[in-house]
Amino acid sequence: MATEDKNRATAAAILPLVGGAANVSSIAHCMTRLRLGLHDRSLVDDEALKAVPAVMGVVEDDTYQIVLGPGTVARVTPEFEQLVEEGRAAGTPAPTPTHTAEELADKGASLKAQQKAKNATPFKLFLRKIANIFVPLIPALIGCGIIAGLNGLLVNLGWLPSVTPALAAMASGFMALIAVFVGYNTAKEFGGTPILGGAVAAIIVFPGVANIDVFGQTLSPGQGGVLGALGAAVLAVYVEKWCRRWVPEALDVLVTPTLTVLVSGLVTIFGLMYVAGEVSSAIGTFADWLLSTGGAGAGFLLGGFFLPLVMLGLHQALIPIHTTLIEQQGFTVLLPILAMAGAGQVGAAAAVYLRLPRNESIRKTIRSAMPAGLLGVGEPLIYGVSLPLGRPFITACVGGAFGGGFVGLFNQLGDSVGSTAIGPSGWALFPLLDGNHGLGSTIAIYAGGLLVGYVAGFVATYFFGFSKALLEEFNVTQDPTPSPITATGGTTPAKAPAAV
């Protein structure tokens, strides 16, 4: 089957299982997940979705998220969008479940209450908005980061001197204008006109700001970086909304964009650029201080607690910090440490595989999810193996903590290990590595951290990840068909909590 046909077949298999085109209110995707807004959650067939070959798992959050893995999700999403449009054009009604109205009402109310309790906190919603601003930028960050690494290698080797300036331009062009893209996405996310957000954010990177003195200090292009762009665009949204409310309709097309750019621009130049610049500098200084003075301990904590953030899908809220560090230092020292969480997950899964020799269903899940785990895509192993089992999720965190502590220790000793872009993890991060003591040393330290994470996660899970009751429950012969272990983040085996 051709790749395009395979992707369309996957999309076609998913659509009826989420209630059809009429039940889909929004479609988006991140690095690994197809994120759907649904009108009626009760129309989704979770078990049938998990049985679709390309689906690695499902996660229920503020959107319904289907884990397809990197690469696959970017190809399936356009096909899914096209099928939804075709379904809407044909007037395909949403399927009606065979339940009474009372049952549907009770189920809907219960689901709504659960989701509201889990996801409607102001802080969590704010973090999700921030993540939605930066996630669309990840492909460009990855591509430019890899080109930057290739260019650095060619420069160090003295090869292709006529080509390296062009590669440098390709690698740096996006980062030079990233504030504009951040401003555009911020305005879009907060309900404003995207191009106005981009226009205000563009002031930050405009070379002419070097001619402006603010409070006795001369501004520099790019001062404030992505944080300044984010703040400027949010301000622009509020100014625009105020104008829409008070400016007469006949003058709106002229007055609203003018006042939005003027007011937001003046505040950005004479306030936000300076404040955001100080905050950005403080982030870089704090990261350097944290790893230089308490690298091993800090790495241990960061690597250990990152996995719960991945489980909740909130790890993407760290993207602004990574991006700020990349702007300032050329690489982020936090990402290689946080990537150790995935190593602990891989080690834990290997231990589960050996500890449950009779459960072919779980072993099959591990075999299918392990390649993605090695490449840093942890959701299939988290939601398909460790989290439903309980204890192995905790021991996987222990593995990530030891791997993070290893990388953090070398940062403390003066060997910084960083990534020139964000997004990839695991083995996929190797092409993006950079540091202050040469590429060879950086790669060796990162590889050592992965190995420590694998071993620590394996040992912790093998010896401490299973109680006697858990082994008796799960180390039994199972049919190699999709099992309850391939569950969503909110579904666990009935007895798992007691075994934790």
Q: Contact, 387 vs 311, CB < 8 A?
A: yes
253 phi/psi in degrees, rounded to 5: -65, -25
What is the C-alpha separation between 397 and 304, in angstroms, rounded? 5
Closest CA to 400 of 369, 421, 423, 373: 373
Asked if residues 219 and 212 have their Cβ atoms less than 8 Å apart, the reply is yes
Alpha carbon distance 89, 37 (integer Å): 19
Residues 447-473: b if buried by 16+ CB within 10 A, e if exposed: eebbebbbbbbbbbbbeebbeeebeeb
Catalytic residue, candidates 30, 144, 243, 397: 30
Is 206 in contact with 158 (CB distance < 8 Å)? no
Which residue do the tokens 């790495």 mark?
Answer: 299
Whether residue 328 contacts residue 418, with contact meaning beta carbons closer than 8 Å, is answered with no
8 Å CB contact between 340 and 189: no
Helix, coil or strand: residue 369:
helix
- Three-state DSSP state, 35: strand
Contact of 174 with 226, CB cutoff 8 Å: no
Judge whether 30 counts as a catalytic residue. yes
Active site residues: 30
